[in-house]
Amino acid sequence: MAAAAGDVCGSPAGAQPGAAAEARFISSAKGKGLFATRSIRKGETVFVERPVVASQFLWNALYNYRACDHCLRALETAEENAQRLLGKSSLVLPHPEQCSIRKDLHQQCPRCQVTYCSAECRQAALEQYHQVLCLGPSRDDPTHPLNKLQEAWRNMHYPPETSSIMLMARMVATVKQAKDKDWWIKAFSQFCSKTANEEEEIAHKLLGDKFKGQLELLRLLFTEALYDEHLSRWFTPEGFRSLFALVGTNGQGIGTSSLSQWVHACDALDLPMLQREELDAFIDQLYKDIEKESGEFLNCEGSGLYVLQSCCNHSCIPNAETSFPDNNFLLHLTALEDIEAGEEICISYLDCCQRERSRHSRNKILRENYLFTCSCPKCLAQADDPDATSDEEEEGEGETDDAELEDEMTDV
């Protein structure tokens, strides 16, 4: 059952009680991994985890993908969501009662007017980081240090977005507000680190060929906006690069959508056959029309740092997957097959289409984006395959059929 707004968004970070997995050290080369502490059945939720910190992507927010400033819950009704994505204000969705958005619960910060899905989220943000980051009457002032930092980031990191400088800002603000600053610094230090060369590769990937100059500009703006003596190392060139790489390596993408929630609710309706066929046809056509109008940018998007999820290693034949079925930042890890006690739990960093490509193609993507070569059972079994990308694969790149499109639009 999906959590109501505010039920768990303000609870402490980490997995909810009863998690069936734990992190264990594997080796200096591989680092940590996630292992089952008991037998887990296919389809079972391994754990539900709240991030240590999360933030919506800046371009996503600028383009009016309205989300709770704390938990990223979509704030538009399903009908408003569809109308915006279609550019058609006259659209009316059937079964409006299946929309889960509760606008009567929404609240704003009285000083800067950022919006939250509930009083619980507004309070949680205020207690963790928002006292430091609240812009107050300077929200629209382009000369404010935080606004300068965000504008610089947008000018360096265009859609499709994979990270946000504000995730780092919320990390700093969390420590600045905390009574026990050392506890939070230790919490952030749990996430895997990289070598200096790997950190540069991550910065290059996020910022492009001019990354060295851009990284230094970001560091200076970041320091102007947020400097704190307890975190002085994070503001040095080396420390800032490490912090940047930490977010780039460990940040988990988050997607929320009131429209997809409505679709899932409609799928569960017990309808006469004719009504079911009419509703399914309406939804299918809706997706096709939205894809033509808005392309791949469908969800409220951001990223977060999750302690347990970040320990999940990659496999091209994963036994678990992550999703966000509660329409907020709560991450659900679900078993794709039976997992025995002591077995490593792996997710895939590749989408379903990429996983069907050759070992060479899969590892090319992994090396470029995650800086490692996969040695999962599938890759080992294909070790003797030719190290070349087939013409068929190259021709197939970028092709998405209607069924895959619907899956992508609803799998949040």
Q: Helix or strand or coil: residue 176?
A: helix
Say which amino acid occupies 297: F
Provide DSSP, 210-256. THHHHHHHHHHHHHHHH--GGGGGGGSHHHHHHHHHHHHHHPEEEEE
Provide CB contacts within 8 A for 234, sequence distance 6+.
Answer: 172, 240, 242, 243
Q: Are the C-beta atoms of residues 259 and 77 closer than 8 Å to each other?
A: no
Tally: H helices and E strands in the chain: 17, 13
Q: Are the C-beta atoms of residues 389 and 362 closer than 8 Å to each other?
A: no
Say which amino acid occupies 232: S
pLDDT tens for the chain, 412 residues: list them: 333 333 445 555 655 556 799 999 988 777 899 999 999 999 999 999 999 999 999 999 999 999 999 999 999 999 999 999 999 999 999 999 999 999 999 999 999 999 999 999 999 999 999 999 999 999 999 999 999 999 999 999 888 898 899 999 999 999 999 999 999 999 998 887 777 778 888 887 777 777 788 999 999 999 999 999 989 999 999 999 999 989 988 999 999 999 999 999 999 999 999 999 999 999 999 999 999 999 888 999 999 999 999 999 999 999 999 999 999 999 999 999 999 999 999 999 888 888 899 999 998 888 887 778 898 999 999 988 876 654 445 544 444 444 444 444 445 5
- Closest CA relative to residue 167, chosen from 250, 79, 270: 250
- Closest CA relative to residue 298, chosen from 174, 405, 388, 393: 405
Q: What ranges in 93-230 are assigned the alpha helix state H? A: 119-125, 131-133, 145-156, 165-177, 181-189, 196-207, 211-226
Neighbouring C-beta atoms of residue 409, cutoff 10 Å: 22
Instruction: Give how far the C-alpha of residue 24 lies from the chain's centroid of Cα atoms, to the nearest Å.
Output: 24
Cis peptide before 160 (omega within 30 of 0): yes
* 252-256: strand order across its sheet: 53-56, 300-305, 252-256
Q: Are the C-beta atoms of residues 226 and 148 closer than 8 Å to each other?
A: no
| Calpha distance 56→113 (Å, rounded) | 16
- Closest CA relative to residue 68, chosen from 121, 23, 18: 121
| Calpha distance 347→322 (Å, rounded) | 8
| Calpha distance 58→283 (Å, rounded) | 29
Q: Are the C-beta atoms of residues 412 and 255 closer than 8 Å to each other?
A: yes
Q: How would you class 355 by CB atoms within 10 Å of its CB: exposed for 0-12, middle for 13-18, buried for 19 or more? A: middle
- 200-209 long-range contacts, CB within 8 A, separation 24+: 200/241, 201/371, 202/244, 202/245, 202/248, 202/249, 202/371, 203/241, 203/244, 203/245, 203/248, 205/248, 205/368, 205/369, 206/157, 206/162, 206/163, 206/244, 206/248, 207/156, 207/157, 208/156
Question: What pLDDT score was predicted for residue 412?
Answer: 59
| Calpha distance 77→82 (Å, rounded) | 9
| Calpha distance 364→373 (Å, rounded) | 8
Provide CB contacts within 8 A for 84, sequence distance 6+.
Answer: 64, 76
What the chain holds in terms of domains, given with CATH numbers, is 21-50+306-383 (2.170.270.10), 53-253 (no CATH)
| Calpha distance 328→74 (Å, rounded) | 7
Q: Helix or strand or coil: residue 183?
A: helix
Question: What pLDDT score was predicted for residue 61?
Answer: 96
Q: Residue 133 phi/psi, 5° resolution?
A: -95, -10
Q: Helix or strand or coil: residue 40?
A: strand
- Cα 139–71–300 angle (5° rounding)? 80
